[in-house]
Structure 1
């Protein structure tokens, strides 16, 4: 992670030129370096700046730019040494002290940051940037009064013409820290200065301020005010402003508004490849695949697109072609190297593959992530009290506490019931989406730490300062994950839970929470982690929203039988389509209802209609529905008689939602976690006869259950009561079982037992 987007730079980097007095060769090297720097070619720029310095060691600006390159390359230890060399040679370099302070603050080295900012202030006391950065740091350290004093000194140094900027920047700093209330105070001051000022203000600057205001309102739960601020921001015209507005809107689930902004951006900037690219990306993320590819083609017609392969991989995965997606993501991971997020995309794609065996999927995960354990911290370096029965400090790392996300749906009831005398929870929130569910989670944990903008070093330092005993990953290889943090070990005990239905393959994740069905005895070889098996089911569905149960009557037994699936399109693999087609053939007159976000796209509907037609199923036996709100979606289960579980990636949340709404599910027990979730849920519901061991068994069970409509109706009428009587749906007991699993992990650590998934290769203290 590079410097925060709101860290102030103190000089322009766009028009730098070598001083005239340096040798021509040094000037040439410097100018080439700066061309590379502006283009984002950090390694090439670094080499050229170093070449200039070898010829002209007195070239101070090259030394500063060299340090900046090191920051952008992400090796922060080397970058700090680069600033040390710069400031030893040029101790009067204000920008060097300021940016060294930024780097130390990002790494959580507060005292060194404090010293760096103080040196910058002593050098040029009349400038405001270092004073404002010091104010930010002091607030980060909890020294609010000292921070306020430095904030006011920054305002005095800035003068009336720049006070708006100081207030605005402080608002950004405070929002990054998660202090939305104080951020609102600063931004209101900035807006006040804007209103009473005499200078004309660019419409895009006004729009940017309104976006920040909307972001603050949304974080505070003031949704209507936030929407109005975003609407005021829509008057912006610059491409950067409109793209940022679309991104913010998308974060807050305003998908239609985001796409309207990006379409306007294309209208205003029709010759911009980035305008078309951003619209294509938004369309792909909202499952409009056909139009996304059309916009991508328009972008590529203007200029080559470095992200085109990634987008095509995403489209392939989202249209059910997991093997093409896997191939493309693996190629990208190889091209981009060890730090590439494409490793996780490849891992995720492998879970959907019809062609890979469970062992091949497991081996691929280990292969993809072995490097994350290189030079990892040792378990013995942590000094936590090893008393086995003392209260535990548990940290959660997640980006996903917001409306409709499965992690939020399953974890909220647990957070509400955890025994705070036994387990103290700190949430390290790494996300960008906030809503009322985010606010609810904040109230349910002992501490909430906004860590979205933090690098791994910062976050690891804070986790140690908080004395965390057990660090839980809730993301796996899904978006906004922090697998590299876990690979380097940030706590004495680390576990993964809920967010990823497979072994992560990541070194130093010691435990995976499972149950005896998704991870049966003998399957240990498929996991790089030790297994903490819950006694009933790995997930407990206990929704906090009331979803009225359908009134299943005789008419439901007499209507044409409807099978259904509400799973996302990537799960509808060729194997799944063939299997479901066989079911439809075995049950004459039956229909299949497919509901997924993709099916608002006519291209996706036509593609899947053709896939079923190739298996002998006519279009009139299929119904396709697109996305609606969660409450409306739950009500639509009343239109389904029997749900069909996909293979090899089973339904998780969707299967439990179907059961909750009275729809039994035909499932097939596969060979690994991701393909045994359905079996776990159905066995926990004591519906063993709905679990198939083979494709032929799956078709037989579906046909048999469809034939006896009266028995099916009776089951549907009482299914929710059946679930609530089962231990797996008792959220209070589930929470106690989860606490017991945490205690088991901790006692194992205190006893010094062996740990599967230990750090590979060298270790550091």
Structure 2
């Protein structure tokens, strides 16, 4: 799952007009006829901007520009406002043209140069961005935001040493510049130095204890660290609760009211693991509880992108709100206006989450499910949906929320819409086992790599095929090759492959015999899709919903012998499968022939059964809440 993105900073509009007027050479008497009106409009735009009322703010900015006899300083201020609004609402090409218009009037306008550089960086026009940021720093070497945006651009180019130096210069100019420290931490996270990233996020929180992104990322990055530090994780979760005190409870509503209005809040109602797991469950709910009048579904999509999967999801909802440009107050107000009874969070602490809205308790009952695999830490989140395997008895203390176990599984995969059929295991032709892993690179920590090294050393004929989006970058490939070498793994035995189309991705399963799961952050979507393609995954079960994710999925398939319970067991089982004898080949061939049909009949792929279980759980929670 995703993490909150590294960010630059666009100069805010506050105070800009007064500054420009001070710099203007024209005596104040020459601008007096329009000054009061311009100042009033400008202040109105700034107020609207800070309330995230983008459309109205832009109309007021246009009104400011339309004033007759507008002084050049006012004009530049208004253009800067429009550019800032365009950038904030993701209209980057418009922002670029507006910043360029400012520079035609004032070529040395440092804020415009810096913000133009940031907009170009977001458009992946990195070399142009570097040029404008260099100009900004030539005019004003001590401009902190230009240094910050320069660091961000270097970071996007993979020039990490130069990015680090730029962030350090930002902090030298403004020692309390929390965004610079946050960006440094994110860069360390992206280069898989999770220990250093944790320390940097903590430093950002020392600067600003309320910096939500730093706390969210500090919590999230713990999932990649091995061995897990449960004490540190629980301390961070307590911190979330301290920052989000409980709100007064809602008045009780009728227990048997119909329909119950359930809202989904997600940044991932699209081609994304959340979308893939959700599709058939929504279709099943639409044909049962929704059709019977018991349930009304509403969506709050925190993403602008709409793809083919989005279009499949939309009909299940009575209303669809695209809320990625809405501030928390507006989203809170919409949820209350919609009369939501149960608000379901599908993001947790992954990128694009709206947990601050949940902290305001806009619905009487709030539930965490699907897109995250740990406690949100919010005392306002009433429940988290789990299953008997991923949260066994005795682990409830890991969750702030009430743990509600669905009977079989917390996840239900929609059968992939692909024509690719399971192919015979490649060992039959090649004569050796090909292990594989299609996880994103941050999940492959040193503990995982050390275990794989033991497996390959014990199976000298076996090969390893790794497929990750990060391997499209030569720098990432080189760094990972260095990690292989450090573990004594012959690089000739390892294929490092980058991203491919979804159709090609499914074809890649024909190139591997067995998937090796990562730990403590195992696969989810890849495990389910591999099973659909007849490829088993060897997983290591560890404490926590995340640590047991692979165990839960395989247990629901009846594949208990593919679940290991210690690193030694994990290595031993992999080595046993890696011998490529006749018995192993026969078993793998049998799995290729049977796993898809087995999957289709299992709770992991049975959307109708899952929808019944899910709806029953929510109804039970509602009765309990309103009792």
2:109 is matched with none
Contact 2:12 2:84 in 1 (8 A): no
1:732 is matched with 608
Q: 1:727 to 1:442 in 2, by over 3 A?
A: closer
CA distance in 2, matches of 1:173, 1:538: 41
2:526 is matched with 654
Q: 1:238 to 1:332 in 2, by over 3 A?
A: closer
Cα shift readout 1:168-201 (whole Å, capped 9, x = no counterpart)? x9999999999xxxx9xxx9xxx9xxxxxxxxxx
CA distance in 1, matches of 2:83, 2:558: 55
Cα shift readout 1:254-280 (whole Å, capped 9, x = no counterpart)? xxxx43x12233256545567886576
Q: 1:679 to 1:283 in 2, by over 3 A?
A: farther
**Cα drift, residue 203 of structure 1:** 8.7
1:204 is matched with 97
Matched, 1:14 2:19: yes
**Cα drift, residue 373 of structure 1:** 2.3
2:248 is matched with 378
**Cα drift, residue 361 of structure 1:** 5.1
CA distance in 1, matches of 2:273, 2:362: 25
CA distance in 2, matches of 1:607, 1:173: 40
Aligned counterpart in structure 2 of residue 585 of structure 1, from 433, 446, 457: 457
Q: 1:735 to 1:309 in 2, by over 3 A?
A: same
Q: Secondary structure at the match of 1:624?
A: strand
Aligned pairs for 1:102-141 (under 5 A) are 102=48, 132=59
Q: Secondary structure at the match of 2:264?
A: strand
CA distance in 2, matches of 1:155, 1:99: 9
Q: 1:106 to 1:386 in 2, by over 3 A?
A: farther
Matched, 1:363 2:234: yes
Q: Secondary structure at the match of 2:400?
A: coil
CA distance in 1, matches of 2:100, 2:613: 50
CA distance in 1, matches of 2:197, 2:167: 21
Matched, 1:467 2:339: yes
**Cα drift, residue 442 of structure 1:** 3.7
Cα shift readout 1:534-589 (whole Å, capped 9, x = no counterpart)? 22222112145315124216764643211111111211111111111122222221
Q: 1:622 to 1:456 in 2, by over 3 A?
A: same
2:268 is matched with 400
**Cα drift, residue 683 of structure 1:** 0.7
Q: Which runs of 5+ in 2 are unaligned?
A: 1-9, 24-34, 102-111, 138-144
**Cα drift, residue 492 of structure 1:** 0.7
CA distance in 1, matches of 2:69, 2:313: 41
Q: Secondary structure at the match of 1:396?
A: strand
1:244 is matched with 119
**Cα drift, residue 412 of structure 1:** 2.9
Q: 1:593 to 1:271 in 2, by over 3 A?
A: farther
Q: 1:308 to 1:506 in 2, by over 3 A?
A: same
1:390 is matched with 258
Cα shift readout 1:350-377 (whole Å, capped 9, x = no counterpart)? 111114344x255134223023322x42
RMSD: 4.3
**Cα drift, residue 241 of structure 1:** 4.3
**Cα drift, residue 706 of structure 1:** 2.9
TM-score, normalised to structure 1, is 0.66
CA distance in 2, matches of 1:709, 1:406: 31
Q: 1:207 to 1:104 in 2, by over 3 A?
A: closer
**Cα drift, residue 450 of structure 1:** 2.8
1:226 is matched with none
Q: 1:159 to 1:547 in 2, by over 3 A?
A: farther
Question: Aligned pair count?
Answer: 572
Q: Secondary structure at the match of 1:14?
A: helix
1:254 is matched with none
Q: 1:370 to 1:268 in 2, by over 3 A?
A: closer
**Cα drift, residue 318 of structure 1:** 3.1
1:83 is matched with none
**Cα drift, residue 691 of structure 1:** 0.3
Q: Which runs of 5+ in 1 are unaligned?
A: 19-60, 65-90, 109-127, 137-150, 192-201, 209-236, 248-257, 752-765
CA distance in 1, matches of 2:148, 2:83: 31
Q: Secondary structure at the match of 1:12?
A: helix
Aligned pairs for 1:485-496 (under 5 A) are 485-496=357-368
Contact 1:537 1:728 in 2 (8 A): yes
Q: Secondary structure at the match of 1:426?
A: strand
Contact 1:177 1:450 in 2 (8 A): no
CA distance in 1, matches of 2:56, 2:240: 41
Q: 1:295 to 1:361 in 2, by over 3 A?
A: closer
Cα shift readout 1:194-246 (whole Å, capped 9, x = no counterpart)? xxxxxxxx9924999xxxxxxxxxxxxxxxxxxxxxxxxxxxx9664464355
Aligned pairs for 1:87-106 (under 5 A) are 94-95=40-41, 98=44, 102=48
Contact 2:453 2:489 in 1 (8 A): yes
Q: 1:597 to 1:103 in 2, by over 3 A?
A: closer
Q: 1:441 to 1:714 in 2, by over 3 A?
A: same
Aligned pairs for 1:394-473 (under 5 A) are 394-403=262-271, 405-419=272-286, 420=290, 421-473=293-345
